[in-house]
Copies of this chain bind each other. A is one copy, B any other.
Amino acid sequence: MNQMTPAPKPDLRALFDPKSIAVIGASNDTTKIPGMTLESLLKHGVDVPVCPVHPKLEEVQGLKAYPTVEAAAQAMGAAPELAIIVIPARAVPDMLESCAQVGVRAAIIITSGFAEEQGEEGAALQARVVEIIARHGLAVLGPNAQGYANFARALCCTFSPAVRLATDPLIPEWCEDGGRISVVAQSGALGFSLYDTGRLKELPYRFVVTTGNEAGVSAFDVVDHLLDEGGTQVFVMFLEGIRDAARFREVAERALRAGKPLVVAKVGMSAAAERSAASHTGALAGSWRANKAMFDAYGVTLVESHEELIDVAAAFMVNRHRLPKGRGIGIPTSSGGAGGWTADGCAAAGLEVPELEPEARARIDKFLPPYGSSINPVDGTAQAIGLIGNSELTRLTALSERVHGIVGVTSAINAAAFLKEGENFPRVGLGLEKPICYWSYTRPSRETYALFAKSGWALSTNLRHSTRAMAAMCAYAEAKERFRPPLPADAPPAPGEIETMTEREAKAWLHGSGVGGAPGGLATSAGEAATLAAALGRPAALKIQSPDIPHKTEAGGVALGVGPEAAAAEFDAMLARVKSRAPDAAIEGVLVEPMAPAGAQMLLGITRDPLFGPMLLVGAGGIYAEVLDDVALSPLLDDEAAALRLLQGLKTWPLLDGARGQAKADVPALVTLMLALCRFVSDNAARIEDIDLNPVVAHEMGQGVSVLDALVLRRAG
């Protein structure tokens, strides 16, 4: 191949919707992975030519086998579009090269023993695979992947027992559009268990894709392709590490704009999980806070368990076209106790349970016995539900203008109770303009699950999953409504050394780009200090300037509230102090600035995440910053409203907002400073390692903000 020819673009259509398949390594032993993989394809009636490739066998599982992929291609009349490779790791790179030479466009490498292994050999093998993929522009899942299932075609390119041993139809009978939920998982075991568990709840899956070591196609590449494919309504993702921040941002934005929620489990909240990810797939977990901030910005829902993952995805599936327009929840129930408990769950999830207005109550009261209640929770009691059904009680509750969504309680052990409601059940479920999430305190039969899913009612057996699904839908609706892309921060760090700028240099650089005020004057003698101080017309702050002294206070290099008459003496005293404590520091002089008026102490900064690059940090300043850990992280913002929300999310926000009769701080000025800083950093992303504006004092409303100190670590560019 001519090295100058650019590699073609990977063809994910050939990977996920192939017209012909070779299974390389397929055998007759269906207790081993190579045999299982072919068995799985055949069992579900693969609808395109499949050709086993095996060095010795002439027939495998009833199909004629060929010794090489070339021979197979010749026999098939054309190269197979997809090669599933299940041979020893050492033989994989050469085989992949052969496939590419023959014209194969896509591959699944199920074999493990690559980057996930300790030691050099696996890493070297993976590097070879990466190189071959790039050179030929192949679409490759794995290595160390369990493959995928494309349920719309009953195409099971995987050895997973979840589909290989499946006795149920792969897609529930009630669903006729080829499935609506797709799983994209970096862990094979978890990926297919999400199918297995959700299938028992009669949920319609479209794709399960496991990406393994991601030498070629990444989880977000898969989502991107499935957005093109179009049939997926909700994505369920299990992520250990994100490899490419720009690709995440691009695909997450596409999904958000398309109204296709990403419901994600992300490993890596804890140090032990980071250890685990590093040893398991060689992926960098990245900082948890940065991940969370990115997910929030793009409306990605984070969940805590695989059962919650499924329940939240199911809730989005039936409700995504009628997301809540507010946080007021109506709770129809037949059990008073369970209703109260659901209200607790709503409160814990940040939802509200308003008392219904009199008109709404009157509509319900007509049907209630004296021991029922229409206040909300709406305790219909078994009697009223027997009379008007869950459907009608739900509809009447949703009629309240204070209600934006329904979290109902029922006992769904038998479908009969709901079948009895006839056409009303799907009419309300599919027709209501407000989202419906029910939970059952008994375990629903599969018939009940199917009835609920096809009738537009989300059903869970976990109260907290239902309330958190509703809260997730609120957050998603808000994120979708408010979304403005963060500023780009994708430039890789410049290769130069990291230099510590002095406060004066840093302030001057920032000020030149509209971030903060100009630095004060630099005194290099006691006389200059006196002159500069006198010119201020108010007491001065004197601060030593040296690239070798990032922490001025500790070095004796700060004097506050210095009057003009004392400035010269203070200059001399400071230099003596600093020289005794840091004798080798190169000293540029002493910065003379006016003392700032009082206000709320904040900190504002930029921190470079290893994955996502520079991110904005804002928090309470002073001693409470450390004690309370009251900081918020965000991608670089270009959006006043988002900056304001970031501040409002701080524990100490009430102090800025005039708690206990204090003056309100100049939040608009603080927001302006935040946005200016973000623009500056986006423009200089390669060079910014770290910025720490601390403290930033937010004065009274209208009085602006003062950046009292600035520390910048900059890469030579």
Question: Nearest-CB distance from A682 to chain B (Å)?
Answer: 31
A623 within 8 A of B: yes
A209 within 8 A of B: no
Question: Nearest-CB distance from A141 to chain B (Å)?
Answer: 16
Quick check: B375 and A279 within 8 Å, CB to CB? yes
Would you list which residues of chain A between 339 and 379 have a CB under 8 Å from chain B? 339-341, 343-348, 353, 355, 370-371, 373, 375-377, 379
Distance between Cα atoms of A373 and B276 in the complex (Å): 8
A117 touching B370 in the complex, CB below 8 Å, given contacts A187-B337, A190-B338, A273-B344 = yes
A196 within 8 A of B: yes
Chain B residues with Cβ below 8 Å from A411 are 189, 193
Chain B residues with Cβ below 8 Å from A628 are 628, 651-652
A197 within 8 A of B: yes
A419 within 8 A of B: no
Candidates B113, B196, B275, B347; contact of A270 at CB < 8 Å: B347
Chain B residues with Cβ below 8 Å from A304 are 345, 348, 463-464
Quick check: A660 and B626 within 8 Å, CB to CB? yes
Quick check: B343 and A280 within 8 Å, CB to CB? no
A341 touching B627 in the complex, CB below 8 Å, given contacts A189-B411, A193-B442, A305-B463 = no
A186 within 8 A of B: yes
Q: How many copies does the complex hold?
A: 2
A200 touching B373 in the complex, CB below 8 Å, given contacts A307-B462, A340-B280 = no
Chain B residues with Cβ below 8 Å from A272 are 331, 340, 343, 346-347, 353, 376-377
A174 within 8 A of B: no
Question: Nearest-CB distance from A471 to chain B (Å)?
Answer: 14
A116 within 8 A of B: yes
Quick check: B379 and A280 within 8 Å, CB to CB? yes
A348, A371, A660, most chain B CB atoms within 10 A: A371
Q: Which residue of B lies closest to A442 (CB)?
A: B193
Distance between Cα atoms of A83 and B274 in the complex (Å): 62
A281 within 8 A of B: yes
Quick check: B269 and A344 within 8 Å, CB to CB? yes
Quick check: B281 and A443 within 8 Å, CB to CB? no
Candidates B271, B274, B307, B340; contact of A277 at CB < 8 Å: B340
Residue-wise interface mask of A (630-663) relative to B, using a CB-CB cutoff of 8 A (1 in contact, 0 not): 0000000000000000000001101100011010
Distance between Cα atoms of A651 and B623 in the complex (Å): 13
Candidates B306, B347, B373, B442; contact of A269 at CB < 8 Å: B347
Would you list which residues of chain A between 263 and 289 have a CB under 8 Å from chain B? 265, 267-277, 279-281
Quick check: A337 and B370 within 8 Å, CB to CB? no
Quick check: B441 and A190 within 8 Å, CB to CB? yes
Q: Which residue of B lies closest to A115 (CB)?
A: B371
A319 within 8 A of B: no
A37 within 8 A of B: no
Chain B residues with Cβ below 8 Å from A442 are 162, 193, 196-197
Quick check: B122 and A370 within 8 Å, CB to CB? yes
Question: Nearest-CB distance from A412 to chain B (Å)?
Answer: 11
Quick check: B348 and A269 within 8 Å, CB to CB? yes
Chain B residues with Cβ below 8 Å from A20 are none
Quick check: A377 and B307 within 8 Å, CB to CB? no
A397 within 8 A of B: no
Question: Nearest-CB distance from A408 to chain B (Å)?
Answer: 14
Chain B residues with Cβ below 8 Å from A336 are 116, 187, 240, 276-277, 279-281
A118 within 8 A of B: yes
A502 within 8 A of B: no
Q: Which residue of B lies closest to A116 (CB)?
A: B371
Candidates B119, B307, B331, B627; contact of A655 at CB < 8 Å: B627
A455 within 8 A of B: no
Distance between Cα atoms of A306 and B345 in the complex (Å): 12
Quick check: A275 and B375 within 8 Å, CB to CB? yes
Question: Nearest-CB distance from A627 to chain B (Å)?
Answer: 5
Residue-wise interface mask of A (322-341) relative to B, using a CB-CB cutoff of 8 A (1 in contact, 0 not): 00000000010011111111
Distance between Cα atoms of A652 and B118 in the complex (Å): 44
Q: Which residue of B lies closest to A342 (CB)?
A: B273
Distance between Cα atoms of A348 and B116 in the complex (Å): 27
Candidates B197, B626, B652; contact of A627 at CB < 8 Å: B652
A425 within 8 A of B: no
Question: Nearest-CB distance from A15 to chain B (Å)?
Answer: 22
A112 within 8 A of B: yes
Candidates B122, B340, B379; contact of A267 at CB < 8 Å: B340
Chain B residues with Cβ below 8 Å from A623 are 655, 659-660, 662
Residue-wise interface mask of A (72-100) relative to B, using a CB-CB cutoff of 8 A (1 in contact, 0 not): 00000000000000000000000000000
Chain B residues with Cβ below 8 Å from A207 are none
Quick check: B113 and A371 within 8 Å, CB to CB? yes
Q: Which residue of B lies closest to A114 (CB)?
A: B371
Question: Nearest-CB distance from A78 to chain B (Å)?
Answer: 36
Distance between Cα atoms of A238 and B341 in the complex (Å): 10
A273 touching B370 in the complex, CB below 8 Å, given contacts A337-B190, A375-B279, A464-B305 = no
Would you list which residues of chain A between 186 and 202 have a CB under 8 Å from chain B? 186-187, 189-190, 193, 196-197, 200
Distance between Cα atoms of A277 and B443 in the complex (Å): 25
Would you list which residues of chain A between 593 and 621 have a CB under 8 Å from chain B? none
Question: Nearest-CB distance from A277 to chain B (Å)?
Answer: 5
Distance between Cα atoms of A346 and B411 in the complex (Å): 32
Chain B residues with Cβ below 8 Å from A265 are 341
A413 within 8 A of B: yes
Q: Which residue of B lies closest to A657 (CB)?
A: B627
Candidates B270, B355, B662; contact of A353 at CB < 8 Å: B270
Quick check: B305 and A335 within 8 Å, CB to CB? no
Q: Can you add 15 more A-B contacts, CB < 8 Å, to A268-B340, A273-B341?
A: A116-B336, A185-B337, A240-B336, A240-B337, A240-B340, A265-B341, A268-B344, A275-B355, A276-B373, A280-B337, A280-B339, A280-B379, A304-B464, A305-B464, A626-B660
- Please list the 10 inter-chain residue pairs (A to B) with the smallest Cβ-Cβ separation, ordered nearest first: A187-B337, A280-B336, A270-B347, A272-B353, A276-B340, A272-B343, A273-B340, A269-B344, A267-B340, A193-B441
11 A-B pairs whose Cβ atoms sit less than 8 Å apart in the complex? A113-B370, A118-B373, A161-B413, A197-B443, A265-B341, A268-B340, A270-B344, A272-B346, A273-B347, A277-B340, A628-B651
